[in-house]
Amino acid sequence: MMALRTIHTPATTHPHGHYSQAVVHNDTVYVSGVLGNSEDRHVGAERSIEDQAANCFDQLRIILEAASSDMSHVLKLNVFVARIDLWPRVNTICESVFGGHRPARIVVPCDEMRLGSLIEMDAVAAVID
């Protein structure tokens, strides 16, 4: 069995709990949830869903790169939105980020999120050889 490798990069939001930004096992990276707003990155809860989704994707990109992966290797994306009526706008951003790449995905409407965020995302990706 291969050892687990935890990822922590200071280039993105610091975890505010007992978890790693990501964990790599074998050739797979598991990225923890990242919020759309962030005190560390100066993206507040008052920002649009587009700004918050872009912030999520920026953070995912940074963490994936630190784990020897990238957005084109995302296998599964989990998206949590504060209101389901925001979903069409988030889907448009997903299309612009992934282009022709279509990872498996779920969208979960949920109630209030930490710090008033409108969106949270986590991902599973393949490590680049």
Question: pLDDT tens, position by position, for the chain (129 residues)?
Answer: 678 999 999 988 888 789 999 999 999 999 999 998 876 655 555 788 998 999 999 999 999 999 999 999 999 999 999 999 999 999 999 999 999 999 999 999 998 788 888 999 999 999 997
Q: What is this structure's pTM?
A: 0.92
Task: Quote the radius of gyration of the chain (alpha carbons, Å).
Answer: 14
Q: CATH number of the domain that 77 lies in?
A: 3.30.1330.40
Other Cβ atoms within 10 Å of 77 Cβ, number: 24
Number of domains in the chain: 1
The 8-class DSSP code of residue 41 comes to T
Cβ-contact 57, 47 below 8 angstroms = no
Would 13 be classed as within a structural domain? Answer: no
Would 38 be classed as within a structural domain? Answer: yes
Give the pLDDT confidence score for residue 14 in this predicted structure: 81
The 8-class DSSP code of residue 73 comes to G
Would 44 be classed as within a structural domain? Answer: yes
Q: Which range marks the domain in which residue 78 is found?
A: 20-126
- Give the tokens for residue 97: 């980020």
Distance from the first to the final alpha carbon of the chain? 19
Would 117 be classed as within a structural domain? Answer: yes
